[in-house]
Amino acid sequence: MVVLRASVTTIAAAGLLALLPGTATAAPVALDDGSFEYPAAPANSFTTLTAGQPLGPWAVDSGSVDLIGSGFWQAADRAQSVDLNGTGPGKVSQTFATTAGRTYTISYSLAGNPGGTQGVKTGEVLIDGQNFQNFSFDTTGKTFAKMGYVGRQLTFVATGSSTTLSFASTTAAGAYGPVIDNVSVGSCCSCSSCSG
Ligand SMILES: [Ca+2]
């Protein structure tokens, strides 16, 4: 398990560097706990959070989600992850500081809850409430030990001094939804002409 996690993390980091050559010199962006490591969910279990409840610096703003504790299944980064279906589809959001007109890239790891009936789990990423990316993940053949995380990215141009990032399940029914972890925001000037 430890080896698997390290491998996934290394691949994700390498992919980020390849796609975002300017990340290393980017200004820090204050997305907090994109790895969903706090609060701590019970080890080998999970906590179901419903609309109106905080999930660390994130908020559950519709439906319900499961905060997956250490050891329950493989995380993409560190110990915890989020199943975007709690008892049904849910949505989590976080607002962070941005600079209007600046380009940002969201990176995250995607898998799906391999329990229950396996198949395609779907969801969407929203920026300030607008759909920016649909995603899907097929859990067929995946296990709690081998979740099969894949890296996803999207890029947007901020329109204000803060931006709200949301991840929502569109897997209509049931407790087995898309799983996210390792969310990060990069703001980059990968060119020599950037004024910073
Ligand atoms: Ca994590």
Read off the pLDDT of residues 163-196 as tens digits, 9 standing for 90 and up: 999 999 999 989 999 999 999 999 865 444 444 4
Percentage, residues of the chain above pLDDT 70: 81
**CATH fit for domain 2-187, picks 3.40.710.10, 3.40.1440.10, 2.60.120.260, 3.30.9.10:** 2.60.120.260
pLDDT category, 75, cuts 50, 70, 90?
A: very high
CA dist list (Å): 169 to 12, 71, 75, 82, 174: 22, 23, 18, 11, 11
Residues with Cβ within 8 Å of 158's Cβ and at least 6 positions away in sequence, in order, are: 98, 99, 100, 101, 102, 103, 104
Distance 192 CA to ligand 1 centre (A): 34
CA dist list (Å): 12 to 16, 33, 84, 110, 122: 6, 17, 21, 11, 21
Give pLDDT, residue 188: 67
Distance 77 CA to ligand 1 centre (A): 4
Distance 194 CA to ligand 1 centre (A): 33
pTM over 0.85: no
Which residues crowd ion ligand 1, with CB under 5 Å? 35-36, 75, 77-78, 80, 181
Give pLDDT, residue 22: 45
Q: Of 52, 82, 38, give the one whose Cα is nearest residue 177.
A: 82
Give pLDDT, residue 187: 85
The pLDDT tens digits of the residues spanning 9-44 come to 444 444 444 444 444 445 556 899 999 999 999 999
Distance 191 CA to ligand 1 centre (A): 31
